[in-house]
Amino acid sequence: MELRVQDGRAVLAGRDDAGEREVDPHTLPLGAGLADALHEWAKVADAVLRTDTPSDGAAIALVTRRGHQLAGRLAADMGTPVAYADPVTGELVVVDVPSAPTEAETAEPTDDLTDDLTDDLTDEPAVEQQVPQEETPWGTGLTVSLITAAVVTFTVFTLSVGLGETSEWLALLANVLVVGGIAPSVWLARNTPVWRWVAYGVVAGVLAAWLSLLLTLL
């Protein structure tokens, strides 16, 4: 006897003098609920095959495991080995009559199993894309910051000294205007890749220039 899935229904195939015959499980004297469980499993298996479910997905594994379990129950009820045709892989596995059916093999199909299979069919597989975290380029970044700081320090210091020879208030006003003009851009760039190193350099350069100006006044 062979257990198959055809068009979303469970079919039992066997041979006699007239050749191969296929019968509905409901026509056989099976245990309570076994025929319904077979058809329910076949319906879910057919739905899984019609979707783009990954071959190593949870739904595929549940269908295979449940089919093998039902084949064992069928072999126990019929008292004869059952050839189980896996609807997923197409592999034909002979399930012998269990010597002592376990509680798991004789239990009725639970709602949890059906819910698990239904969820796998109706929901999109949640694929977590693990984005590798980029290592912080400290060497390159600090080099950019150092060069930027040097340029800003030289520019601000030179501008302040040149204007200070004319008027100290003019030099102070120029510093306020320069810093106030670049502050929004530096603030927005503080968390942006690449540009954050430039922002760090600008801040360090302005502070270094101001410190140098204070030292020249002492």
The confidence score (pLDDT) of residue 54 equals 55
The confidence score (pLDDT) of residue 143 equals 92
Q: What is the pLDDT of residues 83-128, one digit of tens each?
A: 777 777 777 778 777 775 444 444 544 444 455 555 554 454 444 4
Q: Round to whole Å and give the CA distance between 204 and 102.
A: 74
| pLDDT(211) > 60 | yes
19: number of Cβ within 10 Å: 6
The confidence score (pLDDT) of residue 57 equals 61
Q: What is the pLDDT of residues 51-91, one digit of tens each?
A: 755 555 666 777 777 777 777 777 777 777 877 777 777 77
The confidence score (pLDDT) of residue 124 equals 47
| pLDDT(152) > 80 | yes
- Can you tell me whether residue 10 is helix, strand or coil? strand
Q: Is the pTM of this model over 0.85?
A: no
**Residues in CB range of 106: below 8 A, 6 or more apart:** 31, 73, 76
| pLDDT(151) > 90 | yes
The confidence score (pLDDT) of residue 126 equals 46
φ, ψ of residue 5 to 5 degrees: the values are: -120, 120
Whether the CB-CB separation of 137 and 200 falls below 8 Å is answered with no
Between 83 and 8, residue with greater pLDDT: 83
Q: Where are the beta strands (DSSP E) in the chain?
A: 2-6, 9-16, 19-23, 82-85, 92-95
Which is nearest to 62 in space by CA: 32, 79, 86?
86
Q: Round to whole Å and give the CA distance between 190 and 78.
A: 74
The confidence score (pLDDT) of residue 105 equals 45
Whether the CB-CB separation of 3 and 74 falls below 8 Å is answered with yes
Q: What is the pLDDT of residues 153-206, one digit of tens each?
A: 999 899 888 888 888 888 888 888 888 888 888 888 888 888 889 999 999 989
